Amino acid sequence: MIFDGSKGFKVSNFGGKFGSEFSIFIRLRASRRKAAYIFGKSDGNGRNFYSLYMTSSSSRLFFFYSVGNKQHHVSFNALINDGKVHEIGVKFQSQRLTLVVDGKVAG
């Protein structure tokens, strides 16, 4: 997903020192029928944040983010709450968000 405005998503940065570029690698086993935040970061006042969330009833992951007072989300096809161990990589750099689950780019 590219946040350049072409598909309605645009983020120039996450508020300077807040974390305009980041990479995260996680290995987890999620129980069935459990919804949870996988990770998140906030500037402490709620104006700027990002998080990765899994739902309990679908095979989707949601990346939520807010810059200023505008909140947005992007969803990805990825079933991870199946009781198996999964490796998840998230990279945000140069307005591009890449989500990799078990070695495959999620779309």
Closest CA relative to residue 54, chosen from 21, 25, 31: 31
Task: Kindly list the distances between the CA atom of residue 55 and the CA atoms of 1, 14, 44, in Å, as whole numbers in the listed order.
Answer: 20, 24, 25
CA separation for the pair 73, 96 (Å, rounded): 14
Model confidence pLDDT, tens digit, residues 3-29: 444 444 444 444 554 456 788 899 988
Model confidence pLDDT, tens digit, residues 38-93: 888 887 776 778 889 988 877 889 998 887 778 888 888 888 888 899 999 988 87
Q: pTM for the whole thing? A: 0.73
Secondary structure of residue 16 in the 3-state scheme: helix
Q: 62: part of which helix (H) or strand (E)?
A: strand 60-67
Give the pLDDT of residue 8. 46
Question: Rg for the chain (alpha carbons), in Å?
Answer: 14
Closest CA relative to residue 9, chosen from 98, 107, 96, 99: 96
